[in-house]
Structure 1
Amino acid sequence: MEFRDDQAIYLQIADLLCENVILEKWKPGDRIPSVREMAINIEVNPNTVMRTFTYLQEKGIIHNKRGIGYFVTADGLTKTKTLRKEDFINQELPRFFKTMSLLNLSMDDMNRYYQKYLKDEKANARS
């Protein structure tokens, strides 16, 4: 995993785990990789992964069964989507709007680009 400088590593790992939940690679009740497995896979310190897991537990996305491992909560998908929406609205959207303003792009421009993106994604899904 390549990390960016603009966000804490544990939050970037949390984004990766949330993406797996949203894409339903991990469904409610599924066991997720252990702290050690995750640390080895993404080449980070286990303490960083533990911080990620603690964060996701606090958000109600995963829970720990002592001695067994970590699991996606029953409402993990819903809570993950809510968390990601809040993050997008509070962090990414203001940067997006600032860039739009600096480049003099309108919402109509953005809609055209978005419709093209959707069309391209649909074509790529068929390939």
Structure 2
Amino acid sequence: MDFNSNKAIYLQIAEHVCEHIMLGTWKAEEKIPSVRDLAVQLEVNPNTVMRTYDLLQQKSIIANKRGIGFFLTPDAMQEVKSYRKAQFLEEELPQLFRNIYILGIDLDELQKRYQAFVTQNFNQN
């Protein structure tokens, strides 16, 4: 995994875990990699992964079953979407709005491009 120097590594690992959940590679109530296994896989300190897992527990995305390991919660997908949506609205959307304003992009053009994007990427039959 290539880490971005602009964001804390544990937050980038949280995004990595959330991506696995949203893509369905990790499913609700399944066991996820141990702290040590994920640290080895991502080539980071186990304490960094533990910090990630602590964050994800606070967000009700994962739960620790003492002596067994970490598991996704039954509502992990919904919790991830809620967490990622809040993150997007607070961090990324203001920057997007700033760029739209500075570049003089009108809402009609933005709406057309958004619809084309959705059609091209999500309405494939």
Structure-1 separation of matches of 2:43 and 2:111? 39
**Per-residue displacement from partner, 1:79-121 (whole Å, max 9, x unpaired)?**
1111111001011000100011111112222222222222332
After TM superposition, list the pairs within 5 Å mapping 1:1-127 onto structure 2: 1-122=1-122
Structure-1 separation of matches of 2:2 and 2:117? 24
Identity of aligned residues (%): 45
- Unaligned stretches of 5+ residues in structure 2: none
2:27 partner SS: coil
Tell me the amino acid that sits aligned with residue 48 of structure 1.
T
Give the TM-score normalised by the residue count of structure 1: 0.90
The structure-2 alpha-carbon separation of the partners of 1:89 and 1:71, relative to structure 1 and needing over 3 Å to count, comes to: same
Question: Structure 1 runs of 4+ off > 6 angstroms?
Answer: none
Structure-2 separation of matches of 1:14 and 1:54? 10
Give RMSD over aligned pairs: 1.6
- Unaligned stretches of 5+ residues in structure 1: none
Give the TM-score normalised by the residue count of structure 2: 0.91
1:71 partner SS: strand
